[in-house]
Chains A and B, each alone.
Chain A
Amino acid sequence: MDIWSTFILTPMVNVLIWIYNFLFHNFGLAIIFFTILIRLITYPLTAQQLKGQSKMQELQSSKKWQDIQKKYKDNKEKLAQEQMNIYKEMGINPLGSCLPLIIQFPIMIGLYQSITLAMASAPIQLLTLSRDLYSFIPASALIPLNSNFLWMNLGQPEIANPLLKIAGFAVPILTIIVVLTTYLQSKLMTPPPANPGDQSAQMSKMMNLYMPILMGWIAYSLASGLALYFIVSNVLGIAQYAIMGKLNWSNLLPKKKVASKTG
């Protein structure tokens, strides 16, 4: 067994199945609860990320920062050097807000994998699962997991068992919700740019556009259990930021569009 399986995947899949055992053998509820649990565990990372983000935002709107942007706008090398000096002076790690996000990435992948592995919809997956289960999991009684939740089979893409068909075409309801919640999350959680016209603001704008499409595509093409995870994770992310008072509702207002055009 490799390091990834031993420390990430196997513990996650066992916790997921353990939760399933307690939550009425309902895999949909298990995914929801498991996502909440992961969000709670990674809360310190999220809080750190937010803190770093706020500091950075504060810095970027400071006069000193604006001045050096203007002063060295034609000398990128000098600008970078000056920026680093300011980071040092103010005790800011420029990667402070990114690092927690990067650390969360493997957790996210582990979560996808544990959901798909737990559903074990093919023989080799099931063989793998049989070896990965800890002895306290009553595997004989639980396997195979009941993957039906609402109208979905969580082990299959949603369009395999669509709830709604219009003119013969399956409507991917979960995918639509994933796109919407990802868009909302991106918009609400992006801090207002210090300079709406600068490159980082433009990058954020592009991310807000591409990310929902990317997540929607993944939700559409892979098991609907993953789409359920995306939705719960997005909603929890928004709720978490709301509780911390960090939601940026102004991003949803049309006046921002005007601001960015002028910038």
Chain B
Amino acid sequence: MKSKNILLIVTLLVMSILLSACSSAIYASTSWHGLTASTDTVYLAAGTQVYAIDLNTGSERWRYPPDKPNAKGFYANPVLTADGQLIVAGYDHKLYSLNAATGTENWVFADSSNRLIGSPLVTETMIYQPSADGHLYAIDITGKQVWAHETGGPLWAQPVSDPDCACIFVASMDHMVYSYNAQTGEPLWKSEDLGGALTGTPAYSTDGILFIGTFGKEMIALDATNGQVKWRFSTQDWVWSGPAFANNVLYFGDLSGYFYALNASDGTQLWRIQPNNTIVATPLVVGDKIYFATEADTLYTVSTAGDIVQSKVIGGTLYGSPVLAGETLLVAPINSDVLLVALTTNGDQKWTFTPAKK
């Protein structure tokens, strides 16, 4: 009888593991890696750990947590403050301040009741952290909450600010953009329903226009003073990330793999290409070159006229934006043997980073 019981328990255990695996495979905290860089260090939020990596050599300087990995994970782009903090958002609902030089923990903000998927906006004195619980948390640089406001949906996008009017703008998945007074948190305006969820950081032009891509298959320009729609441009598919804005031109991709250049003044299309596969991330504009990654595994370099100058196969899956640090171009693939690839601006590989096992 005992052996029958053992068999039954083993069967149930296997079943429970199977059920959990089936469910958690989908439910798991899955995203792509976050990336930022200073003049000499790259900071990579690579799921269970945050790594500080020497920009010149690709060697690891420190990792956080130093011992046991954080099971929930870090995925948002970390952000550096002027006083040497590295602010890292966690899927464990917590916002961490680390010493950027050593990786030691300064403080932890734990008031969010859901995941922190988007990166914080950091100003000289404040940190604005969006949360999937729908709140925008304004925290001072010592980690104390100053104000918080709830929108009608999860917040996945990094906010943007306009220092001239001391305004904060945040795009919500409830299809609206919200504006708050940066100091007091006083709500200034909210836009109309823009027809689809908003997960990208709006681009902001100094003449007071916000540009935001939507799941309603549109790029929309809003008047930053009152949230009124100025123009709309229809895309082929959902626009996941915000556009890059340079020289009055907007550059962005959609999930069908189209890459667009629009006149920012009136939303007219300048050109459109479809290199291959889904485009999720915001492109990087450097001079007359535009860098963007496609899901398939390739980093493209395009001229401002829309000609593909170069395509570099990185490997893995590319969802994150490329980052430029000095003369080094950084790309963080997922589903790859390496966590980070460093290239010259011409696309030649400098180094790759794979963490040593500890």
Interface-side segment among B7-15, B61-69, B286-294, B346-354: B7-15
Contacts of A153 in B (CB 8 A): 114
Q: Is A239 an interface residue (CB 8 A)?
A: no
Given that A140-B216, A161-B113, A217-B16 are known contacts, is A113 also in contact with B22, CB under 8 Å in the complex? yes
Mask, A213-234, CB within 8 Å of B = 1, is: 0100110011100100000000
Q: Are A218 and B20 in contact (CB under 8 A)?
A: yes
Q: Are A140 and B215 in contact (CB under 8 A)?
A: yes
Q: Are A218 and B22 in contact (CB under 8 A)?
A: no
Residue of A nearest to B174 (CB): A144
Contacts of A128 in B (CB 8 A): 26
Q: Are B5 and A130 in contact (CB under 8 A)?
A: no
Q: Are A117 and B12 in contact (CB under 8 A)?
A: no
Given that A125-B30, A140-B215 are known contacts, is A112 also in contact with B19, CB under 8 Å in the complex? yes
Min C-beta distance of A10 to chain B, whole Å: 13
Q: Are B215 and A139 in contact (CB under 8 A)?
A: yes
Q: Is B204 an interface residue (CB 8 A)?
A: no
Count: A-B pairs, CB below 8 Å: 104
Contacts of B156 in A (CB 8 A): 123
Contacts of B113 in A (CB 8 A): 160-161
Given that A141-B196, A156-B114, A218-B19 are known contacts, is A123 also in contact with B31, CB under 8 Å in the complex? yes
Give residues of chain B (15-72) contacting chain A, Cβ–Cβ below 8 Å. 15-16, 18-20, 22-32
Q: Are A199 and B196 in contact (CB under 8 A)?
A: no
Chain A interface size band reads 35 or more
Q: Are A124 and B27 in contact (CB under 8 A)?
A: no
Q: Quick one: which of A112, A140, A160 contacts B22, CB cutoff 8 A?
A: A112
Q: Are B8 and A122 in contact (CB under 8 A)?
A: no
The listed residue with most B CB atoms (<10 A of its CB), out of A139, A140, A141, A160, is A140
Min C-beta distance of A149 to chain B, whole Å: 15
Q: Is B217 an interface residue (CB 8 A)?
A: yes
Q: Quick one: which of B15, B16, B31 contacts A124, CB cutoff 8 A?
A: B31
Q: Would you call the interface of chain B mostly helix, strand, loop, or mixed?
A: loop
Q: Is A127 an interface residue (CB 8 A)?
A: yes
Min C-beta distance of A77 to chain B, whole Å: 18
Give residues of chain A (114-146) contacting chain B, Cβ–Cβ below 8 Å. 116-117, 121-128, 130, 139-141, 143-144
Contacts of A117 in B (CB 8 A): 26
Q: Are B8 and A210 in contact (CB under 8 A)?
A: yes
Contacts of A252 in B (CB 8 A): none
Residue of A nearest to B215 (CB): A140
Q: Is B117 an interface residue (CB 8 A)?
A: yes
Min C-beta distance of A235 to chain B, whole Å: 20
Q: Is B160 an interface residue (CB 8 A)?
A: no
Residue of A nearest to B280 (CB): A127
Assembled-state Cα–Cα distance A75/B4 (Å): 18
Assembled-state Cα–Cα distance A223/B20 (Å): 11
Assembled-state Cα–Cα distance A203/B5 (Å): 7
Q: Are B197 and A144 in contact (CB under 8 A)?
A: yes
Q: Are B26 and A113 in contact (CB under 8 A)?
A: yes
Q: Quick one: which of A109, A127, A160, A210 contacts B19, CB cutoff 8 A?
A: A109
Assembled-state Cα–Cα distance A210/B111 (Å): 37
Contacts of B238 in A (CB 8 A): 130, 140
Mask, B105-134, CB within 8 Å of A = 1, is: 000000001110100000000000000100
Mask, B246-289, CB within 8 Å of A = 1, is: 00000000010000000000000000000000101000000000
Contacts of A143 in B (CB 8 A): 173, 196-197, 215
Min C-beta distance of A117 to chain B, whole Å: 5
Mask, B331-345, CB within 8 Å of A = 1, is: 000000000000000
Q: Is B154 an interface residue (CB 8 A)?
A: yes
Would you list the 7 A-B pairs with minimal beta carbon distance, nearest first? A124-B30, A140-B196, A140-B216, A123-B31, A116-B27, A116-B26, A112-B23
Binding site for A on B (CB under 8 A): 1, 4-5, 8-9, 12, 15-16, 18-20, 22-32, 75, 91, 113-115, 117, 132, 153-154, 156, 173, 195-197, 199, 214-217, 238, 240, 255, 278, 280, 319
29 residue pairs bridging A and B, Cβ less than 8 Å apart: A113-B22, A116-B27, A122-B29, A122-B31, A122-B115, A122-B117, A123-B319, A124-B319, A125-B26, A125-B27, A125-B30, A127-B240, A127-B255, A127-B280, A130-B215, A130-B255, A140-B214, A141-B216, A143-B173, A143-B215, A144-B197, A161-B113, A206-B5, A218-B19, A218-B20, A218-B23, A221-B20, A222-B23, A223-B27
